Chain A
Amino acid sequence: MNWQALANPTRFKRLSDRLLPWFAGGAALCLVVGLYLGLVASPPDYQQGDSVRIMYVHVPAAWMAMFVYANLAIAAAASLVWRHPLADVAGRAMAPIGAAFTFLCLATGSLWGKPMWGTWWVWDARLTSVLILLFVYIAYMALNSAFDDDTRGARSSAILALVGAINLPIIKFSVDWWNTLHQPASVSRLDGPSIHASMLTPLLLMAVGFTLLFLALALVRMRAGLIERRLAALSYSRSAEAGVASFR
């Protein structure tokens, strides 16, 4: 299949019509079952008790924060290489979802940190890296919406997304280094190397559910973005016609 054919807005709409119910339904199913297994059916941790259940939201949210950024970078590359409007729409659609997952990860991490570490926030390497990732998302969204011309915003923020993509590993490495210099080794690693199946199943279900939720939300937002562009083009040509008419 020629995947570039998908870039045609009409075909994209037809395909998304067919996919959207599956993504949305799958997300609902996975999240309901995953939350039930995670919050009710799975055993409490022998050390952390019931607060370990935050993990079933926190860890998949952290995965999604990075996964969505990877998708954002791919859309940015497509936008700069093929200059296709659909890639611009995709970038604009995905960024707030990624930022929301990143914020969810930080918020649940903070809620988890209070009972476990006795504080809402520690300058742990991972927390700090995720916080910086949130800043990069915010910069992307601010740049995307900073221009009167939508295409300029999309192209500018696409360059930023790519610069960010090659820098995030450097930032991660730097923060890890900084953390080993400054942070006393008092913060215990919460994730053991092994995890029992009764906990792994809901965790993976939540991850699949979040991924499907992201796909569904991204599709809805992309369709809204396409309609918005069409509306802007229509009202532009309308007003142009009106302008011509008033000259006659």
Chain B
Amino acid sequence: MNAAFALLRRDLSLALRNVGETLTVLAFFVIAATLFPFGIGPEPQILARVATGIVWVVALLASLLPLERLFQAEADEGGLDQLLLAPAPLEALALAKCAALWIGSAVPLIAVSPIVAAMLQLPSEAFGTLLASLLLGTPSLALLGGIGAALAVGARKGSALLALIVLPLAIPVLIFAVAAVEAQIAGLSVRPHLFLLAGFAVFWLTVAPFAMAAALRQAAS
């Protein structure tokens, strides 16, 4: 387990030193969300109706950006072989990489999301639920993204391929995250939706380490 924590620490300090990458993801998130008022018009009622969906869809797309380098960088620099030789299960190491990915790119994104939501006129009572849905939903995206990144190590058409793999499988998270916020706006109970999001996170937490490890093993062989 120590090896997994060491890997987590290393990835986080790498993320701290390359703040530019995180900032790029955040800039993409804000700029892409800004395009929607131009696309659909600045009327507050229309924006308020679609704000949750925009925030979530753009967050989903932004979470794709750091994936291409997640395991590919290790493979390019020979780190992948070290991971395979490390005195820890590959499953735990892959999970540590996903944890670092989540802390390094999803948490800053969640921190910025209220600003984007406010610009899109999301009703103020829905902010808490939006943050909760992002906190519970983005771990699934990071784990799912980890699977996609591990599968695509060494592939020719990296980033487009990742989108093809990850986006269809992320649809359930998107559905229930948006449903939670809309339930809050409609005055209904948000708990079932949030519980389901937590359930998805647990599901991916159980499936993703094995899928990632299997993919990485055959990538290294």
Contact = CB atoms under 8 A, between A and B. Distances in A.
B164 A138 contact: yes
Nearest to B192: A177
B211 A181 contact: no
A167 B170 CA distance: 10
Given A143-B152, A143-B165, A175 B157 contact: no
Contacts of B200: 170
Given A146-B157, A177-B175, A132 B168 contact: yes
A139 B168 contact: yes
Interface in A132-159: 132, 135-136, 138-139, 142-143, 146-148, 152, 155-157, 159
Interface residues of B, number: 27
A132 B171 contact: yes
Contact of B179 (A135, A157, A163, A178): A178
Nearest to B155: A146
A174 B164 contact: no
B155 A143 contact: yes
Taking residues whose C-beta sits less than 8 angstroms from the other chain, chain A's interface range is 20 to 34
B175 A147 contact: no
Interface of B is mostly: helix
A147 B171 contact: no
A166 B147 CA distance: 14
Contacts of A28: none
Contact of A139 (B154, B164, B171, B179): B164
B151 A136 contact: no
Given A135-B164, A177-B175, A178-B179, A147 B155 contact: yes
B175 A175 contact: yes
Interface string A170-201: 11011101100100000000000000000000
Contact of B175 (A139, A167, A178): A178
Given A152-B218, A156-B151, A174-B171, 15 more contacts: A139-B161, A139-B164, A139-B165, A142-B157, A143-B151, A143-B155, A159-B218, A160-B165, A167-B169, A170-B172, A171-B168, A174-B172, A174-B175, A178-B175, A181-B182
7 contacts: A143-B151, A147-B155, A156-B215, A163-B169, A170-B200, A174-B172, A177-B175
